[in-house]
Structure 1
């Protein structure tokens, strides 16, 4: 395992497309860590999380939730495999799982070679067939679909549905398989800025093949190799077997109870899901076949579902959980500091935001969009939620950058966000010219911060004659892709590296483009092939400016982060990305006297 020098330039962020770091739906960076001389093995670590499990595939639009992604991080279906991102937002290669290297710049060519001992948790070998499937999911190679403004297929076929974007990986040809079926080589027809984040490990090919009616992973590769690249201008009839395989990957991992079908639990990572009681806990046990570099000390990791921050602190104090990562508030910090727990704090690469649904009837009129956004009391929301935790926090005025990042200030000067610096009720009334529109807002009713945001917006908008209706739900994350609302309040949390988040959000085919925004499609796609840093910043600034001009929505604030860790667990270090405290699970240990 070795560290590469590449680091995040900027961040925003629900989770990732197959194999490429992307944004995930989420429930001052100072670094801190718990440390100790004991490196005991065995035992169980229990971690409190806000959201429950909804899918064992976090890389679909409906599965793109922080808890799903953290489970995926532990079982190898997201964020681990050939590499991971450390808490300095550097890309770390795990050469014990497999090596990858750029073998040519022109054309860009990258070779991935698996460790010969890599196995799935059911004992089956991990092979190039698995890498070919991961590539097929990430690249959209076989898609021939034309989409309308609402993202619906009007002609052709879309096979795999991903939370991120195919931009970048879509410039690859069918992989070259070699080294006795343990390697693939990807050749790009255009440059790709985030090639080093491509991680072609997703679902097990032998399981996907079985669900599609094939006898082996090799048969699935043979099918994929024999099918032509999708052509929007002349779409072929859908291949029934590939469609069946894709449908399984897209929805077959969505669960409401612990699966009776054990095929869904097969893992390539250090852990696999061994139990789940919905609404209460998820248990992950060590995968005895795992042979990568992230071998854990502990035998089990248990997720306890505790949405309320104060209840998390109480559970930590009572010894019911070992680690908490609640939404930070002044009350939470005060309560935590009154315990004996280690408190780790820092910024998150995460932000709350209000998005307008461009598929909604009420927001077809740009004047209504602007009027509604003029009523959003962003400073009031910041002061009530964030300022008590971070007095230096400020309203977020960019859709691309966070305040601590180098290019933030320059973009804010040019992006037109100053139009919404203050609540302007009279300006909103003038734009509405007597109209009294209704706006239905989707948000998480189990999240106190989102409830507060909704109520503040509802009260302010009413002053301009806008009726804000409550479309909140505890099932908000599964409702986001459906678009049955006018606006949404939620958070993005980022992996902290790369640029693939931009087409994920701001291109028409982006898996995170839940609000059906079309205004920056070409610019967003172009960011993936722009290697010149200055030119890339210019593209990002154009996107930032265009989204404000179009009334895309409003960023609210960057989220502060806090971990609480009790004394029985060593090795936890602060991390501000979507993996939170789980990011270095292999370094955790339970003190031998307290297993």
Structure 2
């Protein structure tokens, strides 16, 4: 799905993968879950929302917990193959037009006993399609979503695939089957709804209770479906308000309705900024059977503090920000395993095209080519090789620059795409060439504001290397780093952003959210009709067409001087030997993907 995970989506592989039949996660006769076992996990950012489909909620810090609290129709294993989840099955029932049917298992229930069914998935479609929005955006200056008035419907999310479902879905009489019809073929239909940490989204009957005042669960579901089917603006305005922010909280909520879930774990404690505790829910009726009774996620943004917590026995597992010091410290601890690999996240720089700054044509007399030359000059000065050599190679001596906007180094299409996309020539740290481009543009010492997480030591180092090179080329660099950088994305107060994207899956349509005009992750206001047409083709592409289309897409991004990828994040999964079956996967939710297999000695 085309959503953001900040140090959060670019695709890591090319072809959409089909759902493969298998035993649902944790299925079988193992009753070890009754043992009084516990795992403590260290994480760098706190939970903030049960709704991972909104712009605010769609972060890995939320996904790792909602994934354990909610079942799904499919999930990625550590080989990036999509496995069948515990909620039911997904099948294509028609190719032309494309129709996809979701069938819920009889034992799929919310924790209050209400069935999980078509109403929940229909609400997710309404919330992520943008088909019901009456405005293109409804945000405050700081990027937070505004409360809709009675005449406004705005769901704070959009995905390219969901938007292709124009008609109200077919729903069986018992609500256990829902069939979506796509208006066009869609490459990633297998994983569009109900996959991974999102599951079916938030419970429709709870949304109805909060938004519409309907207490009866079935009547609430019916009211949600009626509002969607009738396109009832007044009702949908209230529904979208609840969906957008009603499931956000940063400490244990007094309202237990916000904790309604359909998976094996329930939230029992949440101390703001400190920790969240999940415990097995004895009311759970599904097939997942975790072996660990209690999981506590403890928060600390300092990676060395996490290593200290591992050493002290306060934390059993962690995936901290990887640095050479962190790796060295972890390797010195007895009884601890350190798995090092490329992670799902890649570092990149993006330009802002619409803030009247140095890269915006509006600040260059409306001259598109002049603005582009300034962007090209900044890219030319980007010391990507130097960054990899000084910051990443101490962790991975085989590390290379990432030269693709859409592919991980080593993936099947990477070599073919990077051979012709022009990234390595456009951003090669050539200060003289950068100076020349600025001279050709006729721009003298433009000031560039760079926004990044200034509490992150690796980003501090990156910023300094970029600053030194860019200033030699003739730019004036202004540091506008901010610990709250994520809330500033798209607010126009910076000219260059430096952060990471983490993939949620492997579909080619993930690119849509980053590069399409007005799309959710397109924070810099980039817009090109040629790009939009390429993305249109990718949405409906077959596997044998995708490499050529991705080449076309990446060439266009280079031609437009959109920005540049820098490197694939090195990932360290560090865990005490007392915890068994810890494995990470290079998409969200990383090492949590097989939580039901964890065992504690």
Pairwise TM-score range, normalised by the shorter structure:
0.7 to 0.9
Distance 2:56 2:479 in 1: 21
- Give the corresponding residue for 1:14: none
**2:89 matched to 1:99?**
yes
CA 1:344–1:179: 2 relative to 1, 3 Å: farther
Alignment of 1:5-84 (within 5 A): 20=1, 22-26=3-7, 41-76=35-70, 80-84=71-75
The CA distance in 1 between the partners of 2:563 and 2:128, in whole Å, is 28
Tell me, yes or no, if structure 1 residue 266 matches structure 2 residue 260: yes
Give 1:432 deviation, angstroms: 2.6
Aligned to 2:595: 585
> In structure 2, do the counterparts of structure 1 residues 478 and 274 end up closer, same or farther at CA, with 3 Å as the change threshold?
farther
Once the two structures are superposed, residues 228-253 of structure 1 have per-residue CA deviations (whole angstroms, 9 ceiling, x without a partner) of xxxxxxxxxx8122012112212233
Match of 1:491 among 478, 490, 500: 500
Distance in 2, matches of 1:178 and 1:169, equals 22
Structure 1 partner of 2:204: 205
Q: Indicate yes or no: 2:178 matched with 1:184.
A: yes
Residues 152-551 of structure 1 correspond to what in structure 2 (within 5 A)?
Answer: 159-162=154-157, 165-167=159-161, 169-200=163-194, 201-215=200-214, 216-227=220-231, 239-339=233-333, 340-362=335-357, 363-364=359-360, 365-433=371-439, 435-519=444-528, 520-531=531-542, 533-551=543-561
* Structure 1 residues 42-83: Cα deviation after superposition (integer angstroms, max 9, x where no partner): 32211111222233322222333221221222222xxx5111
- Give, in whole Å, the separation in 1 of the partners of 2:396 and 2:422: 26
Contact kept, 8 Å, 1:81 with 1:199, in 2: the verdict is no
Q: Distance in 1 between matches of 2:47 and 2:379?
A: 33
The runs of 5 or more residues in structure 1 that have no matched partner are: 1-19, 30-36, 228-237
Tell whether the 8 Å contact from 1:39 to 1:589 is kept in structure 2 after alignment.
no
**SS at the partner of 1:500?**
helix
Partners of 1:480 and 1:142 in 2: CA distance: 25
2 CA distance for matches of 1:523 and 1:167? Answer: 15
Partner of 2:83, secondary structure, is strand
How far is the alpha carbon of 1:144 from its aligned partner?
Answer: 4.9
Q: Is 1:560 aligned with 2:570?
A: yes
Question: What's the TM-score once normalised by structure 1's chain length?
Answer: 0.86
Residues 289 and 584 (structure 1 numbering): CA distance in 2 closer, same or farther, change over 3 Å? same
Number of the residue aligned with 2:25: none
Shift of 1:479: 2.0
Change (3 A) 1:544 1:562: same
Q: Give 1:231's aligned residue.
A: none
Contact 2:80/2:586 (CA < 8 Å) preserved in 1? no
**Range with bigger deviation, 557-566 or 359-368:** 359-368
Question: Residues 146, 542 of structure 1: CA spacing in aligned structure 2 closer, same or farther, 3 A cutoff?
Answer: same
- Structure 1, 335-344 or 423-432: larger mean CA deviation: 423-432
Unaligned 5+ runs, structure 2:
14-29, 195-199, 215-219, 361-370
C-alpha contact 1:355 1:552 (8 A) present in aligned 2: yes
Q: Provide the residue aligned with 2:114 in structure 1.
A: 124
With the length of structure 2 as denominator, give the TM-score of the two structures: 0.85
